[in-house]
Chains A and B, each alone.
Chain A
Amino acid sequence: EDQVTQSPEALRLQEGESSSLNCSYTVSGLRGLFWYRQDPGKGPEFLFTLYSAGEEKEKERLKATLTKKESFLHITAPKPEDSATYLCAVQAETGGYQKVTFGIGTKLQVIP
């Protein structure tokens, strides 16, 4: 069964204090790994897709990287508006079917 584990569950940072969120996965037939941002009571907002080990993508203060077993979301000099829950998801193909599995998320709080 496909598994996605995110750590830590919660993270509190001071404004400007850089850190990384981890997403480890166990899937067969990986097609892609996604990062989403979710604000309370709202739908997830797409951030990145990574397809293969070694790939990196950046958007403002966020940088996502991928290895064969995990992905990191690096947050550089975060601001309070970066506070949200960050979700990782993997898409895998099994028996001709494609399925997306989400992790529980990391709740990030950035203190001014």
Chain B
Amino acid sequence: DSGVTQTPKHLITATGQRVTLRCSPRSGDLSVYWYQQSLDQGLQFLIQYYNGEERAKGNILERFSAQQFPDLHSELNLSSLELGDSALYFCASSHDSSSYEQYFGPGTRLTVT
């Protein structure tokens, strides 16, 4: 158990809908990262927050947004969902902004029908 929690575990929704994924980092970690993992593309970095502020951005679509709250939990919002958004979404945390060691949560499996 990495200490990172993610909810929900599974999510099934229809195209065009909006969903919110939630992540709580390990105790004491200030950075949160979001990743998307699909079968054909491997693990894709989406975005990083450090202590409430956006720190790095990867291949995140404009339909996706994230935020980190004062209690350090983070939410990833996915809107106007498409079939291709079906994937595993992982959250990871690290102590500081340098991300030399990231600890991953169990993931949220999103299925868009």
Contact = CB atoms under 8 A, between A and B. Distances in A.
B103 A31 contact: no
B45 A45 contact: no
B101 interface: yes
A32 B103 CA distance: 16
Interface stretch (B13-21, B54-62, B71-79): B54-62
Contact of B42 (A32, A34, A105): A105
A99 B56 contact: yes
In this complex, the member of B33, B90, B100 whose beta carbon has the largest number of chain A beta carbons within 10 angstroms is B100
B27 interface: no
Contact of A97 (B2, B56, B88, B103): B56
B63 to A, nearest CB: 21
Given A102-B45, A104-B42, A44 B90 contact: yes
Interface residues of B, number: 28
Contact of A98 (B44, B88, B99): B99
Given A44-B90, A46-B104, A91-B99, 5 more contacts: A36-B104, A44-B43, A97-B56, A100-B58, A102-B44
Nearest to A6: B42
Contact of B100 (A41, A49, A87): A49
Given A42-B107, A43-B106, A97-B56, A31 B42 contact: no
Given A99-B45, A102-B45, A45 B104 contact: yes
Nearest to A97: B56
B57 A87 contact: no
A25 B58 CA distance: 18
A99 B107 contact: no
Contacts of A41: 88, 107, 109
Contacts of A34: 100-102
A31 B90 CA distance: 22
A98 B98 CA distance: 7
A83 to B, nearest CB: 19
B111 interface: no
B109 to A, nearest CB: 8
A45 B104 CA distance: 7
Contacts of B57: 97
